[in-house]
Structure 1
Amino acid sequence: MLVDKKGLFMTRFLQIAFAAGTSIFLATASLGQSVQQAVDSVIEAAKTAAAEEQLEPVVEIDHARLAAAAGVEMPSSRVALLSDPKINTQLLSSNIRAGLDLPFRVLSFDDNGKASAVFTSSEFLKIRHGIADTNALEDFDDRLAPVLQAMSESGPRPVQTSALTLDYGIIELASSHGVPETVAKLKEAITAQADTVWFGEVDYAAQAQQLGSELVPAVLLLFGGPAPGGVAMANFPSIGIDAFCQKILVYASPDGGSVVIFNDIAALAELHYGTSAPPHAALNERLTATFLAAIE
């Protein structure tokens, strides 16, 4: 859906949310300063530990503040993406699609009045992407461990994997264009939307090349929609680790084109909470339509 349809989309999106009983404007208490401070302190501790471990900061997103600026209230929530190109390259050598769930991600959020934290584990990568390289998975855990230790007061827990399967919740599209052109087309379509924020991109193949390794061309795009994202996260805050920052992975296909994969937001909600809401399906439809229009 392109920018000229944005107003119509948001009107319908909010109608769906209200019809589903989604709480868009939450009680002020859930945005209490003490909880916000606790959420902030967890992420700040994670960032300090990451700096000490020389993990590269990729992006940090304050979901709640961005949503509030767009007129939507939601519980306090901050996510940090931290990178180790060596770890990325090890895992991507096993399956390039694992780039959708890299780099390291940690989220702190208001969980019914207290700060909680979740992170993506090596077990998640192993199951969702079929990674069998135990050394790479162990290295992933070892690099993330100091960050989790710094977040210990919030009891960080991994995203649950009991319902996870190979390629769970991945929407896949095919582009006849090469990776650079596909990336450019997607970026143009995304940044043309007035309710969307562009956060950046990670060129995994370029990272690998700097380390003396080779990967197929692969680029991760990072963006978010503060207003629709805030609505979708309102009663599902922990999905903020995998969405809003929304991620698209574009990688080369053998036929000279590209594969475009991104997260199914409804499936993520079901993984985290056992259920989803109509706004999640609405966002899936919007994202799919936008990306298809961009790459055709």
Structure 2
Amino acid sequence: MIKNLSLAMTLFFTSTSVFTATSVFALDSLVTLQSQYSPKATADRFESIIKDKGFTVFARIDHQKNAEAVELSLPATEVIIFGNPKIGTQLMQCNQQVAIDLPQKVLITEDANNKVWLSYNNPQYLKQRHDIKGCDAVLDKVSHVLNTLAKAATTK
């Protein structure tokens, strides 16, 4: 009995240590801000702001409209794909696999309570996901810029 108890305690503490170590490094993969505007106004504001800042808008995808085209319904759901090759290239030079997450994207959604949200990939999560090394300054800049752009698009 004591052997089994000892083994059980060892397994418990080992699994708890592994779980704790894993969760300490886990980051939220998305940063989400509530918007004070309608979904369309939020998307329009974001697109206008990034164009004014010199970003390239590669695509704007209206999933709600696409759903309606196949006679399905979906709350407001729009994605804007945008970027700056000078910054994105620097990240890819640190780890080329980050290209799967570039260019950057923002997601604008409306929930069941008519609240509007703007979300984007957390650059620190991308660092962790792709084991990016040597690009901390670039990732910090991307984090700051995305936060600034998102706040400008969602607040009055």
Q: Does 1:174 align with 2:25?
A: no
C-alpha distance in 2 between matches for 1:203 and 1:269? 28
- The equivalent residue for 1:286 is 145
Q: How far 1:177 sits from its partner (Å)?
A: 1.0
Contact 1:221 1:248 in 2 (8 A): yes
Contact 1:205 1:217 in 2 (8 A): yes
One of 90, 97, 119 as aligned partner of 1:231: 90
Letter of the 1:273 counterpart: D
Pick closer, same or farther for the CA change 1:256–1:167 going to 2, 3 Å: farther
C-alpha distance in 1 between matches for 2:68 and 2:27? 27
Q: Secondary structure at the match of 1:247?
A: strand
- Superposition TM-score, scaled by structure 1 size: 0.41
Contact 2:90 2:138 in 1 (8 A): yes
Q: Does 1:199 align with 2:58?
A: yes
Contact 1:221 1:249 in 2 (8 A): yes
- The equivalent residue for 1:210 is 69
Q: How far 1:170 sits from its partner (Å)?
A: 0.6
Letter of the 2:85 counterpart: P
Contact 2:27 2:125 in 1 (8 A): no
Extract structure 1 runs of 4+ deviating beyond 6 A: none
- Superposition TM-score, scaled by structure 2 size: 0.76
C-alpha distance in 2 between matches for 1:193 and 1:273? 29
C-alpha distance in 1 between matches for 2:115 and 2:129? 31
Structure number with bigger Rg: 2
Contact 1:179 1:250 in 2 (8 A): yes
Aligned-residue RMSD, C-alpha:
2.2
Letter of the 1:278 counterpart: A
Gap regions ≥5 residues in structure 2: 1-21
Q: Secondary structure at the match of 2:73?
A: coil
Letter of the 1:177 counterpart: Y
Counterparts of residues 1-296 of structure 1 (less than 5 Å): 168-194=28-54, 196-243=55-102, 245-273=103-131, 275=133, 277-296=136-155
Q: How far 1:269 sits from its partner (Å)?
A: 2.0
C-alpha distance in 2 between matches for 1:212 and 1:173? 30
Q: Secondary structure at the match of 2:94?
A: coil
Matched-pair identity in %: 18
Alignment size in residue pairs: 131
Q: How far 1:167 sits from its partner (Å)?
A: 8.4
C-alpha distance in 1 between matches for 2:132 and 2:94? 12
Pick closer, same or farther for the CA change 1:167–1:176 going to 2, 3 Å: farther
